[in-house]
Structure 1
């Protein structure tokens, strides 16, 4: 088996034929558009090109257990769509929709395999670095365009002319990716402190200008996780110091909450400066309204997904049929807006439980990783956690970066050789 050192020694890991598509795949993970009903990204071309290059070099490795699981998923979703859905829901999915969704499954499996092999080659670090930097640049554009009221390319960069979405098809999706870009800048110790603070500020503001409640909740959740990690996990800290730090944190949070609730003028000022903030404001004033109203309707989509799962708990709805079933049977034409419910509804409960158990094990193992490659393990783990938090309110089951990170994390935790430190 070719090792990382052998790959670097023969120069293939630095070959422009490999580096150029790696660069474009990494930065284009921030681009996605819906064309003819298909979620399309230019990153797909470069991901496939990387796959062909590694195959040509005979350096593409496939984890057997993962391949068997994906084959099982492919079989189950096809059998369900073709044979069971017509019986259970009296609906026969269109062949074109089955083929389209099947291609999506193949694409995420390809991203998973490319992520697995990038880690094995020692190149996932540079991929995450490029991904994070371009996320910061796009976020900076969003902040400047919003605050300076620049309308250039507004039809491309904004949703409904006020919510910045970058080059993604959805501002919620964009905002969650912005939070994932935070991980690199907060985890890598070699980044200068001034640039680190600048990056954090811009990425926080970019989430605000997206007007995404999902993004704000994901951002706050991630900060809370990092605070808990900082105060509780470090073995060098004494109990008194931990208690003092926790007390200070909760006091600051309480003061911030009182200020926000007690001074509605402040919220009005923010909404005037950043119109998209008006969608976020209910999170601080009426949380129930924020979840179920103002264009969200999350409660309804989750209820429909739950009902669909009840109708076909073991084998799911398969591919190419979920939205039609939701519309025709339950009169709600939308996806589940929840990755956990979406996968469970399409794959069935047994496969979904198996998959999310695997994800949980990855997170636990990476959290306990101390001996080798721990910094990259933490970065990959944090990105995965952020995407899972965001998955509570949007369907990210086909998110490219999610499967790239899962593949890389699996490869990292299964490797025995130590990777290079981050630069």
Structure 2
């Protein structure tokens, strides 16, 4: 592990010519070392594996976990691993605080016995989350961010594509992709998680300007179909907001002048207004009921139609129960506002306080209850600031626009889901934060923005790079 200069990957020799003739033939000039090939393969595998999560033996596991461990080990052994100091210090302090609360305070506050297995499991989740953030930073420094994100989108498209084909042609073995027989959950354990992850994939696809138009249209159609087949109301809301967000031209890599800033603010207000009108007006017009009749033959779409028939019923009823879960989370926050309830103790404390051991189904409330308000607010302020503010180095803005938009999708969805242990959430956050870290270091090393960049990092292609 190293905390050395984060620009060591970005400084490289002068760029060479695209190719050189050798005996009348043109061969690629780029010859990768075995170490680089191995790292690249692991990055691709990580992007694909981020589409998977499953509960095995009571543990929330993902195929991404062994890839994360392998990639961290390879980079550490190759002395190429760089860990940002500030996030490392924060997670160390947070871990110590939560362990002290769990071991020393919770037994005094309640009659709950400490379960070692639950504590170890949640500490491991926290460590994996931090490692995913580190790898998000790392892929930006290595110039592999676009590769990792495209691998994730490709995996999501394949999974959704199989489900779409299975609607027409029965395919053996596809039953495992569904929850309850009709709700698509993909390679995850929950249709809601699958839906918001697929919405994040759509955001990455729409903001990747290096994808050909016809490929973008086909992949978008498949991914949107996957979201609808999940019958997730949270996913449907996230998708609708993403469509409006993109239609209004928000989140670009262009300059941040006053005019564009005003335009973005007005567009954001318009987006919220449109969403509010749809939610509040549609049920009273009868259009929602008409739509419900039209889709009554498709169970997944019929479940989603309740959003336009009765929004309150859609959120609180039909198995959602969000309001009750949020009330329990608020009770835990008020029980220990400064230090939280510790690690591995959320459900037992909820059982003792309210008699209903249910997770918050809200990422913000979940971490406030577990971490305590001070640590949670520090983290959320840092994460939201990195997500909303453009990086200062222009070549990194296209990558930031892509990763931060997908992060916004997950943050919005976090109101209805607990995504605090989502590998994808932490990986995207790491990429988004890295665009600011690299920008700050880049400014220090080369304060002349007009000079052509002399480094290996290649962000998403600009308009002039399109083919």
Please, what TM-score do these two structures have when normalized by structure 1? 0.90
**Is 1:224 aligned to 2:244, yes or no?**
yes
Match of 2:436 in 1: 413
Answer 1 or 2: which has greater helix percent: 1
Superposed, which structure 2 residues align to 1:19-418 within 5 Å? 19-145=40-166, 147-148=167-168, 150=170, 152-230=172-250, 257=282, 261-262=286-287, 264-272=289-297, 274-366=298-390, 369=392, 371-416=394-439, 417=442
Contact 1:154 1:161 in 2 (8 A): no
Q: Which runs of 5+ in 1 are unaligned?
A: none
Q: Secondary structure at the match of 1:295?
A: coil
Q: CA deviation at 1:332?
A: 1.6
Larger Rg: 2
Moved more, 86-95 or 259-268: 259-268
Deviation at 1:226, TM superposition (A): 2.5
Distance 1:229 1:184, change over 3 A: same
Q: Secondary structure at the match of 2:55?
A: strand
Q: Quote the residue 2:20 is aligned against.
A: none
1:122-142 CA distance string (max 9 Å, x none): 111100011011111111222
The normalised TM-score by structure 2 is 0.82
CA–CA separation in structure 1 for the residues paired with 2:340 and 2:250: 41
Out of 318-327 and 161-170, give the one that drifted further: 318-327
Q: Distance in 1 between matches of 2:331 and 2:318?
A: 24
State the superposition RMSD in angstroms.
2.9
CA distance in 1, matches of 2:192, 2:287: 28
Tell me: CA distance 1:148–1:71, structure 2 relative to 1, closer, same or farther (3 Å): same
Deviations 1:192-224 (A, max 9, x none): 222222222222111110000010011112222
Structure 2, unmatched stretches of 5+, are 16-29, 443-452, 462-467
Structure 1 position 280, deviation (Å) = 1.0
* Residues 83/203 of structure 1: CA separation in 2 closer, same or farther (3 Å cut): same
Q: Distance in 1 between matches of 2:31 and 2:430?
A: 24
For 1:24 and 1:237, locate their aligned partners in 2 and report how far apart those are by CA, in whole Å.
38
Partner-residue secondary structure (3-state), 1:415: helix
Q: Is the 8 A contact 1:283 1:290 kept in 2?
A: yes
State the alpha-carbon separation in 2 of the partners of residues 33 and 260 from structure 1: 41
